[in-house]
Amino acid sequence: MTGQFLFFGNLGGGEIIIIALVILLLFGGKKIPELMRGLGKGVKSFKDGMNEIEKEINEAPAPKQTETNPTETK
């Protein structure tokens, strides 16, 4: 077994249609929009979190470095 089943590497158009029909039969036509809405909210929340983290990283103050000259004596 090569692990291709885990990543669905060999799916064609016919297989995708069959999977969509099975999902339609399992969940019904009324439940699918609710599932997609929930999935969309989850993706939006994830993107917002990633943008917030990126913003915090970019706005973080750089640590102050003191300039010292080793040849300079006080």
CB 12 within 8 A of CB 6: no
Q: Which of 27, 42, 37 is nearest to 19 (CA)?
A: 27
Chain centre to alpha carbon of residue 13: 25
CB 32 within 8 A of CB 23: yes
Task: Give me the pLDDT at residue 49, please.
Answer: 93
- The residues near 74 (Cβ < 8 Å, ≥ 6 apart) are none
Whole-prediction pTM: 0.48
Low-confidence ranges of the chain (pLDDT < 70): 1-9, 62-63, 66-74
Q: Where are the domains of the chain?
A: 28-57
Quick one: DSSP state of residue 64? P
